[in-house]
Amino acid sequence: MGAYFSELAGKTVIVTGGSKGIGRDIARTFAELGANVVISGRNQQALDDALRELHGYNPSCIAVAGDLSEVAEVRRLIDTAADTFGTVDVLVNNAGVNIAKPAMDVTESDWDTVLDLNLKSAFFASQAAAKYMLAQKSGRIINIASQMAFVGYIKRAAYCSSKGGMVQMTKALAVEWAKDGVKVNAVAPTFIETELTAKMFEDEAFKKDVENRILLDGLARPKDISGAVLYLASDLANFVTGETIKVDGGWTAI
């Protein structure tokens, strides 16, 4: 083996929700290694800003705007990546949303919004990417799940359901596609310190509760998640499939 991760140069890597937070850091990590990164998101301005950063590492990177709760938009994203670069090598299903409400207040619309983006879009993106991966007998699908797939928490009934489903979906797809060289894994983060969670942690009681449940100091940072994703995408994880790596600072160890 040569330099670690050098095999990722020139690979086609799709990162959904790649314009902000964890997704943006994941996309940048791959771009730094010379991968052709395709990011998606709904906010064109955020996509343009993220793409400018990616172009600093690899001018071939592209952005595709769209609402991934719509299956047609999911398929358009994957096909655009394949048409542009000729292959789909890595798919990172990162796009997600939470609507924080007590379970008794969750509406049908709330439920559908969370499940459609967090779980349905990940399945159909995986299905669309697998069309290319199965044909080329290789590929990596990495789902960004959550520690909430393994534990419960207040105001997250729909979110926990979506992420628990994602972990089981990861196993099911791994079993079905292993014979064709497609490896499917997941990363399950704890709460991450990003600009997107800053407002959430203005609630001091909530922040203290979260910090008390994490055994390591402080909150996770985006690069902590990117490191796990990079490992699963690389040759270092050639014999890993159907696995979920928890990056939760020990939350679920108790």
Q: What residues act catalytically? A: 159
Q: How far apart are CA 180 and CA 30, in angstroms?
A: 24
Tokens of 213: 């449940």
Concatenated DSSP letters for 123-170?
HHHHHHHHHHHHHHT-EEEEEE--GGGTS--TT-HHHHHHHHHHHHHH
Tokens of 158: 């729909």
Residue 64 near residue 39 (C-beta atoms within 8 A): yes
Q: How far apart are CA 187 and CA 146, in angstroms?
A: 7
